[in-house]
Amino acid sequence: IHTANTLCFCFLQMNANDCHDPPKYWTIHGLWPDRAEDCNRTWHFNVTEIKDLLSDMRHYWPDVLHSSLNRTQFWKHEWEKHGTCAATLEVLNSQKKYFGKALELYQHIDLNGCLLKAGIKPSSSYYKMTAIKEALTRFYGVTPKIQCLPPEEGEKAQTIGQIEFCFTKGLQLVNCTALEGESNPMQAHLKLGTSELSVCNDTLPTYYPSEVQ
């Protein structure tokens, strides 16, 4: 079992075409140790251990890719792939602690509120990626990792889709320094339609819609 040097906390904006009832706000994708996956394959997900968190889980960490009858699959995947590795830290060493701490970090970071305060909100016009980065860095004091969908054929703008914040093992914010193309668990983990998320291009205009179309 590897103990993470850093943890990555990821906010997600989903593709309206790929989703069941896509939310119009940033939700949680996951809380990931940086160099480990599937650390304990015998430690299976048990939804009854997080029964007190279910209301918040459904709202802030929704599974929008599966039908309403099977929406615990996302949480099961995140626990078994990443949570069993994060559990080497005492503060995350149970399913309730892992999911509960992720919900707590979500509220603490308040990405929706931060972007709104910075004047960055869903719009039919484009933003400069450098302006988005600067606003987030100014607000949080660290540089997150921002991922985008590349421009559709014939289009000029990339679409913002995922924002990752990095933490020390003590859950203090630190800069995300992962470079594009690095092979580590903090890559996108997600394919939307026919395009995969990748680190945003600083020179391309950036579209921030209320739902990724």
Q: Determine the pLDDT at residue 48.
A: 97
Among candidate residues 2, 20, 44, 78, the one labeled active-site is 78
Q: Determine the pLDDT at residue 181.
A: 42
108 is catalytic: no
Q: Determine the pLDDT at residue 200.
A: 95
Among candidate residues 29, 80, 164, 189, the one labeled active-site is 29
Among candidate residues 20, 44, 82, 211, the one labeled active-site is 82
Q: Determine the pLDDT at residue 12.
A: 83
> Who's near 194: CB < 8 A, 6+ residues apart?
none
Which residue positions in the chain have pLDDT lower than 50?
1-4, 179-188, 212-213
pLDDT tens by residue, 54-94:
999 999 998 766 655 567 999 999 999 999 999 999 999 99
78 is catalytic: yes
CATH number belonging to domain 5-208? 3.90.730.10
Q: Determine the pLDDT at residue 135.
A: 95
Helices in the chain by DSSP H: which ranges?
Answer: 54-60, 73-78, 84-86, 95-109, 111-117, 129-140
Q: Determine the pLDDT at residue 101.
A: 97
44 is catalytic: no
pTM here is 0.86
**CA torsion 133→139→140→146, rounded to 10°?**
-20
